[in-house]
Copies of this chain bind each other. A is one copy, B any other.
């Protein structure tokens, strides 16, 4: 059966990066006024602020804190740099606990030229080194597999299968997976790996946007749902069939959109969320 369109905004979450020109205060007030239900907070949006106070402001506005974005970047050539990354991730977990985010999204990291299997080993070690702190903080860690075009420098975890394998190997109730349609839509094994992730109880987040043709930039040219070729609604159907009942998080990096009037942009996001998600 075809997945039904979304009827309301109860599960709509927006990542602060999507409306990057806005301060956290601007984002909170505009999202809340528009009926958005949740917010995923990028760390730069709370830089220099008290995360606990930011969390209170968000909840006072009627919004849920859906996630803190982003931890990870564990691999490094030198041991001392890997330790630095672990220390930073411990601080990120503290921030997540303070702001009241149930999980941190992990962009796992990669070092150009370092063999991917070495980076993958370091990623596992990095996550495991923060597990007890995550547990005592009651903050989950969401491994986000990144598109293979980011395997050089951003993540050595590039398919949902790889993320599932890693989460399964770590085997902690604290560690799950973030499913982002931008990174994963092309994979012939996507449906089966979403099902597997659901069976493990490990789908922690669902991120949406679209893939434009042409894509003019590897990083900052993501599309709004409906502007591209990703079957967002169909993938949402798979995620829901796998038992996920959380937010649909709009995460769009777009140089073009960031130069646009952000109120108008928010309006377009909400329209696209209803029509094409």
Residues of chain A having any CB pair with chain B under 8 Å: 112-113, 115-117, 120, 147-149, 151-153, 158-159, 162, 185-188, 211, 213-215, 218, 228-229, 231
Q: CB within 8 A of A112: which of B147, B158, B187, B228?
A: B228
A149 touches B215 (CB 8 A): yes
Q: With A112-B213, A213-B112, A215-B218 known to touch, is A186 a contact of B228 (CB < 8 Å)?
A: no
B152 and A115 form a contact (CB under 8 A)? no
* 9 residue pairs, one from A and one from B, having the closest CB atoms: A151-B186, A112-B213, A148-B186, A112-B229, A149-B149, A152-B213, A152-B229, A113-B229, A148-B148
A158 to chain B: which residues have CB within 8 Å? 186-188
Specify which chain B residues have a CB less than 8 angstroms from the CB of A159 in the assembled complex. Answer: 188
A220–B137 alpha-carbon span in the complex (Å): 46
- A148 near B187 with CB under 8 A, answer yes
User: How many chain copies does the complex carry?
Assistant: 2
Tell whether A162 pairs with B188 under 8 Å between CB atoms, given A153-B213, A218-B218, A229-B113. yes
B147 and A149 form a contact (CB under 8 A): yes
Q: A116 and B188 in contact (CB under 8 A), knowing A147-B148, A148-B147?
A: yes
Specify which chain B residues have a CB less than 8 angstroms from the CB of A152 in the assembled complex. Answer: 211, 213, 215, 228-229
Q: How distant is the Cα of A18 from the Cα of B155 in the complex, in angstroms?
A: 29
Rounded to whole Å, the gap between the CB of A134 and the closest CB of chain B is 25
With the chains together, A110 CA to B205 CA distance in Å?
29
State the Cβ distance, A177 to closest chain B Cβ, in Å.
16
| Contact partners of A116 in chain B: CB under 8 A | 186, 188
Assembled-state Cα–Cα distance A109/B120 (Å): 32
Question: Can you report 9 A-B residue pairs in the complex whose CB atoms are below 8 A from each other?
Answer: A112-B228, A113-B228, A147-B148, A147-B149, A149-B215, A151-B186, A153-B214, A158-B186, A218-B218
Within the complex, the shortest CB–CB distance from A155 to chain B, in Å, comes to: 10
Smallest Cβ-Cβ distance to A110: which chain B residue: B229
* Beyond A117-B188, A149-B215, A149-B218, 14 extra complex contacts between A and B, CB < 8 Å: A112-B213, A112-B229, A113-B228, A113-B229, A147-B148, A148-B149, A148-B186, A152-B215, A152-B228, A152-B229, A153-B213, A153-B214, A158-B186, A215-B218
